[in-house]
Amino acid sequence: MSQEQSNADITPDMSVLDVLSLCRDTEDVFRSYDEAAGECICCNALFETLCDVAEKYNLDLEQLINDLRATARKSDREDIHHARTAS
């Protein structure tokens, strides 16, 4: 992944680790799906793609990606805000 990639560029073929590496704040999103999955997604599916995670745990892939992207966009905005106020 390039450093220029926006945090909101999350795709179904990305692994859980890829998403976490792109935006650490997405860990909270994965944790919010742990109950529905019946286990810790970050612990047990770190190297699986989002598509595979959704299939394995019977999750709505589109909703999962939307939730991850929303959190990533929020993180992007906060990073921009912090960069502007630090200048």
Mean pLDDT on 9-29 = 96
Position 10 in a domain: no
Considering its fold, how many domains does the chain have in total? 1
* Helix, strand, coil percentages in the chain from 3-state DSSP, rounded to 5: 70, 0, 30
**For residue range 42-67, what is the model confidence (pLDDT) as tens digits?**
999 999 999 999 999 999 999 999 99
Position 78 in a domain: yes
Position 46 in a domain: yes
Domain membership of residue 77 as a residue range: 16-86
CA atoms within 13 A on the CB side of 25: 15
Position 49 in a domain: yes
Position 2 in a domain: no
Q: Give 2's pLDDT tier (boundaries 50, 70, 90).
A: very low
Position 11 in a domain: no
